[in-house]
Structure formats: C-alpha cells, structure tokens
Chains A and B, each alone.
Chain A
C-alpha cells in the first residue's frame, strides 16, 4: 500500500511520456506532408541571382524537374540557418544517389556585405558542396522573398561588423513539377524531412 503510493509519480511520468504528440510539424490538414502547403497549381518561381562563382543563376531553368529547397539566411547566423542546413544535408545525404541527384538546396544570402562569394561557398561546403549559394543586393533578395510570400530580410544599417540579420526562418520546398510550394518552419526535425522527402520527390500538383 505504502509502495503503491510511492509508485504513483512514476506511473504519472510514464503516462505523460505516452502522451507525447507525434512529430513537430504544423497542422497538416488533409495533406500527408508534415510541412504546410502554401500554394498548389502555381508555376515554378522565376528569379535570377548570382551564384558563388559570380555567374547568373536562373532558378527556373536550373531547378527544372528537381525538388528544390529555398532558404534565406546568412553565414553568421548563430542558430536557425546552420540548423536548417545541417539537417537538410544530413537527411538528403541518406537518400539513394539517384534521388539525391534530384534534390537541389538553394541558399540565398540576406547579408551580402559579409557573405562574399568565397565566404558563402566555404560555409555551404561545410554542410554539402552541392548546396547552391546565391547573392544579390538586399533589395534584389527581398524582392525574391516577397515574390515567394516570405518576409523580407531586415539588415541593420551602420551596425559595424557584428550584427544580426532578421530573415524568414522557413525553408520553402518547390516540388519537381514546380506547381506546389511547401513551407517548413524552424522546428522541422530530421524525421519530418525524412518522412516528406520521398513524397515531395513524387509530388504532382492537384490542378483543379
């Protein structure tokens, strides 16, 4: 009897553990995806920025038929950017080589002052040398963000060398057919990506 009372808190903890909510994604609605579909039946995004070799990179042409992930961030970011990039690199790295070749990660710098082509390339290489790094002026980059319905970057003016850049924390996935955009907020975990990647690779937009 005495022992039964003593074990009550343990039983409560077991029950709490059993109540763990599955995954950490947004409300999926009727979609099988863990990310949130923000547009379907649309067209592949069209924009051109400079890559880390200084060459123009047309997103529409370069990612045709590929599952693409677009992320706006900066290399001095202390948390969200490296976490998203490391997670994507880890999960994409586990795909079989054929599928891996059908995925493109496009990182668009929101800090053109500090993210020179070399800095950007070196930083991306620490995650995956296949990741694409794009640059433009803050206005050009913000125009692209707004066209994708993402908030523009907030770059502080005259902030010296050490400053924080406000930027969208979500990764935007564009399906291979270009017709569906899915948003993955900060907090998307390895297991969420691993569950969605095969679905996104085969995704066909539901055109009404």
Chain B
C-alpha cells in the first residue's frame, strides 16, 4: 500500500492515521482547542515558536499542557519568518524544544517563509534556500509553498519530505482556488513516486473545501482558522474530520466521469407502457 490507496498517511518518519493536520492558533481558550483536536480525529498538530513572556505568563499555562504526547505528534512551524535565516533559526529552536521533552516531532518541521504581511503568501526563493539548509541539517521538511508546479518540483528535488501548496491565502477561507494547478502538481510529483506526500495547507474555509481537495488526490489537509474561527469550532472540527475522510474515500473509490446528458439508473426493459 502506498499513500495513493492507503487510508493512513506516511510523511518522513511518521505514519498518521488521520489525513487531517490541525493548528493550535486563534482558539478562544486552550480547553476549546483541546476539544476541537479531539473532535477532528487528527494525530498531528502544528505549533508556532515565540518568545516566552518574562512576566504575566498566563498563570503558568503552557499550550503543551493541553496536548497529549501519546495522542499527538507535534509539527513545529516557522510561521512569521520572512527570510531563510529566520526560518532556519526558528526550526532549530523548535527542534531543541522538542528534544528530550517527551513529545514526538523533533525531527520534522513545517517550513513557512513568507513574502509579506498582507498576503502571507510564501516567498519561493527564501523557501528553497531555507529548505536546502534544513535538509543538510537533518530535518524532514514539510514545505508550505505556492501552487506553482515548477517550484514544487524544485522543492521535491531539493529533498522536501512533503510539499504543501496553499489552496488560497492563509486564513482566507477561499478553499482551493486553482484545482487544476493542484492536479498538475500531483501528476508531476507522483508520476514516478506515487507515495510522495502532497498536502493542501491554507485556505480551507469549510468542509466541502477539504473534501474537494482530498478528491483531487492530495494526501492530506492542514488547516487552522476554518475550525478555530467557526461559529461552533467543535462542530466544525467534526465536519472537517468527516470531510477529509469522505474526500479520501471518494478519491480512492474513483468518481464517475462527468457527462453532459443523462444516463438512466432504472432499466429501460420491462417498463409498463401502453
């Protein structure tokens, strides 16, 4: 079984039973985040690296206290980095934090190198530069990138453990804006390597966006705002779990071709006619 037919997802050193990776940001409370993680069925959550507060430290509450190390693998990200140097620095800090911490996830990273604060779109040159350094440094790198097939090929060649094209800008909820670009990326990256993981990261707004993305043949979905920002985040986490599974199953099952005209489901023969 490879990623094409298996219901679980193999990326770098890890095998994920759920193809949904969820974020930990923007929740009204850490308790709500925990409930949403539970409802999502995910085994993998992303976290960001930031300066520790020296005073007024949330009365000692750390986000890790709300993430069960037996249940979840942590995927540290380099969110908020705008250069290759910043990405490498933050990735190493994330690894150091997880080393010997009792949590899994020290050996991989979600590389995010952004171009500007308005679009939060990935900056391709810095992304590739940072990837090369991190690969040399022994990281398994999941690369957040734009849906440009040539860039995705270069990133794979440079040793990315997974390619994660944006469906649309981070937090925009616009879904997968260019499904054909994703199709071409899948074809190019998987033609001689069917198990190579391609994940849609960013832009998912609601369950149908996740299902549609999975139906295209991608290996997983990474999302945060769609759940954390929903009116009922726990219900949306349930919805995303089912949408990801439904989309995956539909992809494996193989949809019928689209046709312009009708095809009857009931037999013509034996109709009661005059």
Bound pair: A and B? no
